[in-house]
Amino acid sequence: MRWGRAVTTEGITITIAGRTDVGRMRDHNEDAFLVADLSADGAPPGVTAAPLGPRGALLMVADGMGGAAAGEVASAMAIETVLDVMRSRWMASHADDADHFAHALREATEAANQRIHEHARSQPGMKGMGTTATLVGLLGPWAFLSQVGDSRAYLVRAGVATQLTKDQSLMQRLIDAGELTEEEASVSERRNIILQALGPEPRVRVDLTAQHLCRGDVLVLCSDGLSGQVRASEIAEEIAGATDLGAACAALIARANAAGGPDNITVVAARMEGDALPTQAAVPPGHRPYVGEQAARATQRVDRASLAAIAATAALGEAAPTTHSAAGTTAASTSHAPAGDSKGSADELEPSDRPRRRTSEMLEAEDEALLSPKTALALLGVGALLLALWFLW
If you average pLDDT over every residue of the chain, what do you get? 81
pLDDT of residue 333: 34
Q: In this model, does residue 300 exceed pLDDT 80?
A: no
- Residue 27 pLDDT grade (very low, low, confident, very high; cuts 50, 70, 90): very high
Q: Which amino acid is at 289?
A: P
| Strand-by-strand arrangement of the 265-273 sheet | 50-51, 13-21, 265-273, 218-222, 152-157, 160-163
Q: In this model, does residue 321 exceed pLDDT 90?
A: no
Q: In this model, does residue 152 exceed pLDDT 90?
A: yes
Residue 248, Cα to own-chain centre: how many angstroms? 24
Q: In this model, does residue 365 exceed pLDDT 70?
A: no
In this structure, of 75-79, 159-163, 334-338, 381-385, the range with the lowest mean pLDDT score is 334-338
CB 131 within 8 A of CB 199: yes
- Residues forming a β-bridge with 147: 134, 207
313 sits in which H/E element: helix 304-316
Q: Which amino acid is at 183?
A: E
pTM of the model: 0.75
* Whole-angstrom distance, CA of residue 130 vs CA of residue 121: 12
Report which of residues 335 and 225 the model is more confident about. 225
- Residue 241 pLDDT grade (very low, low, confident, very high; cuts 50, 70, 90): confident
Instruction: Taking residues 185-196, report their average pLDDT.
Output: 84
Report which of residues 126 and 249 the model is more confident about. 249
Instruction: Taking residues 25-31, report their average pLDDT.
Output: 95
* Whole-angstrom distance, CA of residue 255 vs CA of residue 261: 9
In this structure, of 46-50, 169-173, 292-296, 378-382, the range with the lowest mean pLDDT score is 292-296
In this structure, of 98-107, 356-365, 367-376, the range with the lowest mean pLDDT score is 356-365
Q: In this model, does residue 16 exceed pLDDT 90?
A: yes
Report which of residues 5 and 113 the model is more confident about. 113
pLDDT of residue 208: 98
pLDDT of residue 329: 36
% the chain with pLDDT above 70: 75
In this structure, of 52-56, 177-181, 197-201, 362-366, the range with the lowest mean pLDDT score is 362-366
Angstrom distances, CA of residue 189 to CA of 132, 167, 196, 260: 20, 16, 18, 16
Instruction: Taking residues 2-31, report their average pLDDT.
Output: 87
CB 132 within 8 A of CB 62: yes
% the chain with pLDDT above 90: 59
Angstrom distances, CA of residue 248 to CA of 114, 236, 354: 35, 10, 46
Domains of the chain, with CATH numbers?
Answer: 13-293 (3.60.40.10), 302-392 (no CATH)
- Residue 354 pLDDT grade (very low, low, confident, very high; cuts 50, 70, 90): very low
